[in-house]
Amino acid sequence: MFALRVTALNNLEKKSFYSFLILYIVSSFAFISLSAYWYYTAQITMLKSNDYYKHQHTADRVSSEIIAAHMKGNLHYVPPKEKDTTLALIGTNNKVVYGKITEDFFPTKPEYFAQGDHCILVSQAPQDHLGIKYVVVQSKILFEEITELKRSVMLVMFFGIIIMSLLAVVLSRFFMRPIHQHIKHIEEFIHDTAHELNTPITALSMSVSRALKKQTYDEKILKNISISTKQLFDIYSSLTYLNFTSRSKESPHVNIRPILEKSVAYYKELSQSKGIEITFDVHDFSFNIDESKLTMLFGNLINNAIKYSMPNSKIEITLEEGVFIIKDYGIGIEEDKIEHIFQKYNRQTEYAGGFGIGLSIVKKICDEYVINLEVSSVKDEGTRFVLTFL
């Protein structure tokens, strides 16, 4: 039912999972036990009360029949047999006149008590009629009912604990599922970040080493150093924005064109390294937005276009009347995956690496400044982003 399995959890998640599971089961067991105890004691009280009144009713009925027989002049009285009940009549001479005493006792006063597996009621209601001093009513019904009650309560507790345990496992997995996914994303993000950092750092190291060996700084070495440095700065900017940046209270009114031109120039070396031609047709347009965020917005879109473009292809960029369009002729995106490309840490392909935050930053900035964002793509033909600055 759930994709998450305990074996897929790391040690920290397992510890949290089992801690929650044990706490839930223990608290559920305590609740069930307490509820069972309250129910059991309430039922015992009710059963005892019912048993007492049944015994009393039987004793009163027999006593009434004894008195009636005496009033009619009868010398003897034999009570009818009672179902599940044993009767004994004790004479004024303190001897058993009828029936038998089931337990090891002899009545000396009116009372109701339990002894052995019987409940016994001693009634003085005959008032010595026909020489009968006490009516003794004895029955095992209450003990049988209590035994059955105990069995029922224990059975319900047993199944209740099983059900609560199963529910605890399901709930534990359910609540651990987003935590597991989040930790998985973090682990993947750390892995991908380390991988992404490794590329420009290695390139920088190699370029510097070559430069030191050659003792000259040719254009190719400087270009590699520049590209690698910019890649490191892009990673740093993205991570900083995701974790520390909040919206400015007031955004300045800026001209978009020069900022866009700087962004294209910034990635010129990277595009040239893949033989990609960037065609550029932009016009002045002003908008209220933080310049650094606008730079990051354009940077992520241009960098993405370069990443996923085929070598020796082209990228078309236009800005006219507040509508920015960037179109590449790269690998494209499958139609059913387009709606997921703005999710954080989401990567639809391993074609160009990355850790899946570029387009999520684009979406976040667009939402922040109410910029309409549209995307269309055809697999293996290219992708087109349209931003309308409202």
Which of 148, 167, 197 is the endpoint of a domain? 148
Give domain status of residue 218, yes or no: no
The pLDDT of residue 3 is 39
Q: Are 160 and 32 in contact (CB under 8 A)?
A: yes
Q: Are 276 and 316 in contact (CB under 8 A)?
A: no
Give domain status of residue 226, yes or no: no
| Structural domains of the chain, count | 2
The pLDDT of residue 6 is 41
Cα dihedral 96, 102, 106, 110 sign: negative
Q: Are 144 and 259 in a shared domain?
A: no
Average pLDDT, the chain: 81
Which of 148, 175, 197 is the endpoint of a domain? 148
Give domain status of residue 168, yes or no: no
Give domain status of residue 187, yes or no: no
Q: Residue 352 belongs to what domain range? A: 247-389
> Coil, helix or strand for 220?
helix
Helix H or strand E segment including 54: helix 11-71
Give domain status of residue 371, yes or no: yes
Q: Are 257 and 380 in a shared domain?
A: yes
CATH number of the domain within which 327 lies: 3.30.565.10
**Average confidence (pLDDT) per 10 residues, the chain, 390 residues:** 44 72 82 90 93 93 92 84 88 90 88 91 93 93 92 90 82 71 66 59 64 65 65 64 58 88 83 89 91 86 89 93 93 85 67 64 89 92 92
Give domain status of residue 231, yes or no: no
pTM exceeding 0.75: no
Distance CA 144, CA 141 (A): 5
Give domain status of residue 140, yes or no: yes
Give domain status of residue 239, yes or no: no
Share of the chain above pLDDT 70, in %: 75
Which of 91, 116, 148 is the endpoint of a domain? 148
